[in-house]
Structure formats: C-alpha cells, structure tokens
Amino acid sequence: MPDGSESESRKLLGRLRDTMAEEAAGQARLDKITHLTADSMGTEVCSIYLFRDEDTLELCATEGLNKEAVHQTRMKLGEGLVGRVARTGKMVNTADAPSERGFRYMPETGEEIFSSFLGLPIQRLGEKLGVLVVQTKAKREFTADEIYALEVVAMVLAEMAELGAFVGEGAALKARHTQATMLRGVTGQEGTAEGHVWLHEPRVVVTNLVSDDPERERERLKAAVEKLRVSVDEMLAGASGEQLEVLEAYRMFANSKGWRKRMEEDIDRGLSAEAAVEKEQSAARARMAQVADAYLRERLHDLDDLSNRLLRILTGQGSETGAEMPTDPILIARNIGPGELLDYGRRLKGIVLEEGSVGSHAAIVARALAIPLVIHAARITTEALNGDHIMVDGDQGLVHLRPDESVVSAFRDKIAMQAQAQERYASIRQKPAMSLCGKRVHLFMNAGLLADLPSLPSSGAEGVGLFRTELQFLIRNQMPRRNELVEVYKRVLDSAGDKPVVFRTLDIGSDKVLPYMKPTDEPNPALGWRAIRVGLDKPGVMRMQIQALLRAAEGRSLSVMFPFVAQYEEFRAARAEVDKAVAIERKLGHVVPEKITIGTMLETPSLAYASKKFFEDVEFISIGGNDLKQFFFAADRENERVRRRYDTLNVSFLTFLEGIVQRCSESGTSLSFCGEDAGRPIEAVCLAAIGLHRLSMRPASIGPVKSLIMRTDLDALYDVICDARERGEQSVRASVLDYLRWSG
C-alpha cells in the first residue's frame, strides 16, 4: 500500500472478509491472507507466525519466504525479531533488520535478501496469538499508514482465529477453546468441585468485522456511545463512595474525544463499529499488561469495562445472552463483589477468579458458603466458554478446563475420597472432641452471614465462637439500619438456640472497606485506623450496633467481643459504651439481656503484655491468630510473597501463645483461638497441646479437626513440641508430623 490511503485499507479489509466467507480449509485461508496482504501493501514478504505452545512460535504461512519452511521454522519467545515482538507485544519497524539487536537469521526461509522488517503482535483482548510480519528487499522504514494497515490485518486475523477460521485440514491453529487446559492459581477456599462453566460476564462475539459503509458504522457508534453515556449518568445518580469514583472515571472515558476519534478512524479504514471498539480494547489490554502503576492499571480496567458495555450495546448481546445457567455452575469472573456472589448463593459449585485476593470480601463470602474458590487464575476468562466442563481443585489452587479422561478420573477419585472422609466426620458429629489423654477440647464455628447458620447443627459445632458482624455491612450498598440488624442478630440467636454466640463488633478498615464509606488513604491500612479505633473515635455506628445486639437478645444472654484492642484502656472505653447503651435501653423501658459477657480479641502482641488487672477484668479473650501472626512476624497476611513465609508452628510463635495461655490461666480468664489456623488439623492439635482448649473455625474444618484430636495424646504431643524446642528447631512441624504419623 505505497500510498497508504484509507481506501486501499478498506479494499484489503473487503478482500479479507471475502476470504473469511469462502469455504476453505484453515491453511488455505492463512495462505490467502499472506498473499493478499503482501499484494495490497506492495511488500515482497508477508508471514504469519503463530504460537504452538506458550513459548514457541511457528511460521504458519508465508508469501515470499521459502514455502518449505512453513511449519518447520520455529523460534522461542524472545528469540530473533519475531520472538521479540511476541515477547514484548510491541512492534518492530526497521529498515535494516540484520543490524537490529537480537536479529537471528533463519537460513531455511531464505530471508537473507530482505532488509526492511515490520512485525506486529497478533493479539486479541490481551491474549497473544502470534506475530504478523512484512518484509521488503529495499531498505526503508514503514510509514504510519502502513503500520496502521498491518495492525488492522493483525486484528482481523486474531478475530478470525477466535471464530475458528483457521481450523481444519492441515490446520495451522488447533481449534480454540476445545483443548484441555490446566490453569494454576491460588487457593481462596479449599474443596473440590466438578461442573460446567458459567461466565459472570459472557464474552461478546464479534462476527462482522469489516464494513463497506463507514457512514453507517459511525452512526451506529455514535448512537451506542450516547446510550452508554446515558446509562453511566443513570448509574452515577444512584452511586456513592468508591463506586462514584469509578463511575466518574467511566464518564470521563465515555466523553473522551480521543477514544471516540480513534474508533472513528478505525471505522474509516473499513472496520465495523464493534471491531473498532474491540481494536481499542485490545490496545488498552496490551497497555494494561505493561503498566506497573496500580492507579493507571485500574483506569485501564475501567476503560476495558466500558468497552465491554459498548460492545454489548452494539452487538445486542447483553448479560442475558439466552444461555441457561447449568445445573452445576462453576462461576468464572475476573472479579466479583460480595453482594453479587451472595445473589448466586449456594447454587454455585465452585468459583474461579482471574484476580481477587485471599482476604477479599468475595473470598470471605465464598468461605462462608463453603464454595471452593481459586483466585489469580490467569487467562481463565479468555480460555473458558459457557458450558465448558471444568474441575476446580481449591486445595491445590488448580483449575482443569475441558479436562481429558485421565484427569477426570483422578479428580473424581479425589472427590470420592473427600466424600468418604465427610461420612467419617458425620459419624463423630455428636461426639465430644476428647483427646486420647482425656482432655476435652471445645470446637466452635466462625460465622458472619445468615447463610452460615445451617452449618451450626450440621457441623457439630458447640456454638459460634466468632460472628464477624462486619460482613452484614460489607455485602450491602448502604449502611444497614438498626432494625435490620436487630432482625439479623435475632435470627442468629434463634437458630443457635441454647448454643452460645460471640458477636464481634464491627471490624472495618484495613482490607475491609465499606463501599459506602469515604475511603481513607492510609499508607499501612492494616496498622491504621481500623476496628475498635474507628469504633471509639466515631462511636455512632458502634453504638447503633450495640443497641441492635441488646434488642435482638430479647432478654437472653449476650456475648460481645471487641476487635483489635491493643491496650487495656481501649477495652475499658469500649465496655463503657456497652454499659451506657444498657442504661439507655433500661431507661427506654426495653428488656436487657439477663447476662452480658464482654471480652476482646487479642490480635496485637501488645495486649499479651497488658497489666494483670486487664486479664482479671476481661471476661474472655479470643486470639485472632490471622492478625496476631501477621504482627508477630511483621508479615502482611494479604501479601502472597510473605504470607506463608513463617510457620504457625514456629517455636517463637508457639512460645508466645503459650505465654498468653499462662497469663489467662493465672487470672482465670476464658481463652479461645479463632484464626484460620484453628481449622487446620495439625495446627489445631498443637494449639490444643499448649493449652488452647477452645477453638473456633470454619464449619467444614470441625470434622477433620475433631477427628485428629480424638486420635491424639495431647500430653505426649506437648512433650514432642518441648523436645523440638529444646533441640533448637525453628518449627516443630516436622517433629509433630513424625509423631502423628508413628502414633497412627
């Protein structure tokens, strides 16, 4: 395309469209595209390299290089100029390829006579598919128009690949979305599940890429952008807090002239309106992968979301695509909010997220619902199609998409074994957790949602050791009203019957940010203004909550616990709030609980060293091991790099915990442990061995923990722990495992 004109570009696109429409095998189509492109651009060479596997590219079609090299020439990611384009996702445009850094000559291709080189990535929505190259003998750099024309061809190629246009006899590409794929992620919630994919946001399929009528396409784009703008404005009207910020960013993009202009130029060159949107979206995704700055990446995410909305408007493919949710749905999403997840509820068999974090609200909800969850499963939203067979291994953080027979049978064996174990646990449900040496351990469950309550009888828990009240606040779009809270707490107490429930007052801040509260920008939120600190500084919400608890009790006993208390004074001040609320209730003529037990979480090392008076004064203490451990080791519980670095069975930590046991026993204070470690059988028996005889955990953990306690001599295990400590071992885990193995 020496004159690089728009009409040339449109002509080429038209010819590509015809190629697509023709009945032809995949290889024939690829050959034709290289021929058409070289012809239209006036270059001697046009070649298509596609990924064979994650890091190998293969020459799949060429015009101008030796045909014998097709399907023979391969290169690794990063190797030569083609490999460089594939690795960086960036174009290489050079007049003198042999003198370029990293140039590698492939003798079988006969490319030594070509000097200039223009290579572009073939990618679809951030997914790399290959590289498209043109070469000429004459030494010259390619112009902006030529680059643009090749970009459009690359995009059409990517879309055609998505539509399966290159599959068939002698195919260059295997059919997409048909192969078995294993994706490695991170455990969000343990458990295994088999089912079929249900995409939270179904992919939009663009079938008409090319258009002869730019006027019409411009009009369609204009109307769609207008519709989008109106819908963003409507959403803005009802939004608040952080949501408002995101929507403001949406509005900024929806009004962005640059974005519109680029799409209109794409249309003028022959793309349909939806292809133009997708081209810009692909470019944004490619940028997203390279931007390190979290804020900028978020904005690119916003643009991506907006492009999706625009595509849905243009193609008429809403979230209601007519697809029916399978009976065994495994939810696939880039990310999901806790409210949306609750809407799906227990119907879901499993969840796989491309992003997410262990402490995210969605993960908390998944845990409460006991739905296996894998997070950080890269590419899952592009790889999976609605209805695909899928197996989720929440224990290992693995996802098997369209698994082959051997994986299916191995996985089913694993599920069957877990079911057998569950049966075993059911048989001990009514039995007390009594160790071989006659020590009674009390097992409670952690809860936070009404959805948790059916687990109380089914798990064999002796009560709720930790009710995280903040979940009721996190799953809503606005602050719950007092009466709503009274209803929720009442239902919790009603379904617990005579089993005790410990309500923890609001623990917000740090990772738990309420969507409707003004976010505070803190450098270290985990060490910041959170939990009881917020409760005491701005007591309005805590007072409302305490009042709701008092009323929900309807005269029954009530246990209240404060989160994140770091010093005695905070406990005293918080307790005074309860006393005040009781006095007010009395004055108003309301019944007050017959007995109120007030305790605190111990989540900061400082509280372990509080005065004797504190230990005598507080009625009970519950160790929040998740937070306590992160502060003890100075290792962020949310940071994948460090959160597993220090073992809970590290002797320093166990010795520290033993010190707390000692202090509580001296003052006769009831002590429990309610962090995640309480639900891990090996950790749980060690905690019990050092004297923690009240453990609160996820309901699903009660069976496995009880089963191990009943098979363990805790006195003997304590000796094993002491011996390992004596020997100077860093963690007692190896010795404990050895002992448990040999003792049967």
Task: Provide the annotated active-site residues.
Answer: 361, 674
- Among residues 329 and 465, whose Cβ is nearest to Mg ion? 465
Please report whether residue 567 would count as binding ligand PEP according to CB under 6 A.
no
Please report whether residue 329 would count as binding Mg ion according to CB under 5 A.
no
The stretch near ligand PEP (CB under 6 A) out of 95-103, 253-261, 285-293, 620-628 is: 620-628
Stretch (H or E) spanning 562: strand 558-562
The stretch near ligand PEP (CB under 6 A) out of 234-242, 623-631, 646-654, 728-736 is: 623-631
Interface mask (CB under 6 A) for ligand PEP, residues 496-525, using x and -? -----------x------------------
CB of residue 675 to Mg ion, shortest distance in Å: 7
Measured at the CA of 120, the angle between CA 117 and CA 126, to 5 degrees, comes to 165
CB of residue 640 to Mg ion, shortest distance in Å: 19
Q: Give the separation between CA 37 and CA 54, rounded to whole angstroms.
A: 27
Question: Nearest CA to 603 among 560, 572, 566?
Answer: 566
CA dihedral 491, 536, 526, 645 (to 10 degrees): -70
Please report whether residue 625 would count as binding ligand PEP according to CB under 6 A.
yes
729: CB partners within 8 A, 6+ apart: 651, 735
Please report whether residue 627 would count as binding Mg ion according to CB under 5 A.
yes
The stretch near ligand PEP (CB under 6 A) out of 140-148, 327-335, 618-626, 729-737 is: 618-626
Please report whether residue 624 would count as binding ligand PEP according to CB under 6 A.
yes
CB of residue 253 to ligand PEP, shortest distance in Å: 36
Q: Give the separation between CA 514 and CA 477, rounded to whole angstroms.
A: 8
The tokens 């045909």 sit on which residue? Answer: 67
Measured at the CA of 654, the angle between CA 508 and CA 510, to 5 degrees, comes to 15
Q: Among ligand PEP, Mg ion, none, what binds residue 129 when CB lies within 5 to 8 Å by partner kind? A: none
Q: Among ligand PEP, Mg ion, none, what binds residue 418 when CB lies within 5 to 8 Å by partner kind? A: none
Q: Among ligand PEP, Mg ion, none, what binds residue 593 when CB lies within 5 to 8 Å by partner kind? A: none
- Among residues 511 and 658, whose Cβ is nearest to ligand PEP? 511
The stretch near Mg ion (CB under 5 A) out of 123-131, 356-364, 491-499, 626-634 is: 626-634
CB of residue 451 to Mg ion, shortest distance in Å: 21
H helix runs in 325-360, sequence order: 338-344
558: CB partners within 8 A, 6+ apart: 503, 549, 550, 593, 595, 596, 597
Inter-residue contact 259 to 253 (CB < 8 Å): yes
286: CB partners within 8 A, 6+ apart: 89, 121, 123, 126
Q: Among ligand PEP, Mg ion, none, what binds residue 462 when CB lies within 5 to 8 Å by partner kind? A: none
Inter-residue contact 491 to 450 (CB < 8 Å): yes
Among 127, 603, 683, 713, binds ligand PEP (CB under 6 A): 603
Q: Give the separation between CA 209 and CA 268, rounded to whole angstroms.
A: 13
- Among residues 348 and 466, whose Cβ is nearest to ligand PEP? 466
Interface mask (CB under 5 A) for Mg ion, residues 585-624, using x and -? ------------------x--------------------x
The stretch near ligand PEP (CB under 6 A) out of 199-207, 304-312, 621-629, 715-723 is: 621-629
Please report whether residue 388 would count as binding Mg ion according to CB under 5 A.
no
Please report whether residue 626 would count as binding ligand PEP according to CB under 6 A.
yes
Number of CB atoms found within 10 A of residue 210's CB: 22
Inter-residue contact 716 to 739 (CB < 8 Å): yes
One DSSP character per residue, 52-79 reads: EETTEEEEEEEESS-GGGTTT-EEETTS
Q: Among ligand PEP, Mg ion, none, what binds residue 152 when CB lies within 5 to 8 Å by partner kind? A: none
Bridge pairing between strands 186-189 and 373-375: antiparallel
Site for ligand PEP in 158-197 (CB under 6 A): none
Task: Identify the bridge partners of residue 271 per DSSP, sorted by sequence position.
Answer: 210
Task: Identify the bridge partners of residue 443 per DSSP, sorted by sequence position.
Answer: 695
CB of residue 370 to Mg ion, shortest distance in Å: 20
**Torsion 535-536-540-542 (CA) sign:** positive
- Among residues 167 and 464, whose Cβ is nearest to ligand PEP? 464
Question: Nearest CA to 39 among 2, 89, 92, 66?
Answer: 2
CB of residue 88 to ligand PEP, shortest distance in Å: 41
- Among residues 64 and 624, whose Cβ is nearest to Mg ion? 624
- Among residues 58 and 627, whose Cβ is nearest to Mg ion? 627
CB of residue 204 to ligand PEP, shortest distance in Å: 38
CB of residue 562 to Mg ion, shortest distance in Å: 11
Q: Give the separation between CA 65 and CA 472, rounded to whole angstroms.
A: 65
- Among residues 119 and 624, whose Cβ is nearest to ligand PEP? 624
Q: Give the separation between CA 143 and CA 145, rounded to whole angstroms.
A: 5
- Among residues 10 and 698, whose Cβ is nearest to ligand PEP? 698
Among 131, 602, 674, 690, binds ligand PEP (CB under 6 A): 674
CB of residue 360 to ligand PEP, shortest distance in Å: 12
- Among residues 88 and 670, whose Cβ is nearest to ligand PEP? 670
Q: Among ligand PEP, Mg ion, none, what binds residue 675 when CB lies within 5 to 8 Å by partner kind? A: ligand PEP
Q: Give the separation between CA 338 and CA 332, rounded to whole angstroms.
A: 14
What is the length of the chain? Answer: 744
Three-state DSSP class for residue 694: strand
The tokens 């539509």 sit on which residue? Answer: 163
Q: Among ligand PEP, Mg ion, none, what binds residue 625 when CB lies within 5 to 8 Å by partner kind? A: ligand PEP
Q: Among Mg ion, ligand PEP, none, what binds residue 58 when CB lies within 5 to 8 Å by partner kind? A: none
Phi, psi of 501, deg, nearest 5: -130, 130
- Among residues 341 and 561, whose Cβ is nearest to Mg ion? 561
Measured at the CA of 600, the angle between CA 598 and CA 601, to 5 degrees, comes to 150
Q: Give the separation between CA 21 and CA 590, rounded to whole angstroms.
A: 77
Number of CB atoms found within 10 A of residue 423's CB: 10
Q: Among Mg ion, ligand PEP, none, what binds residue 468 when CB lies within 5 to 8 Å by partner kind? A: ligand PEP
CB of residue 683 to ligand PEP, shortest distance in Å: 13
Interface mask (CB under 6 A) for ligand PEP, residues 452-481, using x and -? --------------x-x-------------
Q: Give the separation between CA 390 and CA 383, rounded to whole angstroms.
A: 11
Residues binding ligand PEP: number (CB under 6 A): 10
- Among residues 30 and 506, whose Cβ is nearest to ligand PEP? 506
Inter-residue contact 648 to 684 (CB < 8 Å): no
Q: Among ligand PEP, Mg ion, none, what binds residue 26 when CB lies within 5 to 8 Å by partner kind? A: none
Residue 427: what residue type? S
- Among residues 397 and 624, whose Cβ is nearest to Mg ion? 624
CB of residue 678 to Mg ion, shortest distance in Å: 13
CB of residue 602 to ligand PEP, shortest distance in Å: 10
Chain centroid to Cα 292, Å, comes to: 19
CB of residue 625 to ligand PEP, shortest distance in Å: 5
Inter-residue contact 678 to 687 (CB < 8 Å): yes
- Among residues 121 and 624, whose Cβ is nearest to Mg ion? 624
Inter-residue contact 259 to 275 (CB < 8 Å): no
CA dihedral 39, 40, 41, 46 (to 10 degrees): -50
Among 127, 274, 627, 713, binds ligand PEP (CB under 6 A): 627
Residue 121: what residue type? P
Which chain residues interact with Mg ion by CB under 5 A? Answer: 603, 624, 627
Which chain residues interact with ligand PEP by CB under 6 A? Answer: 466, 468, 507, 603, 624-627, 674-675
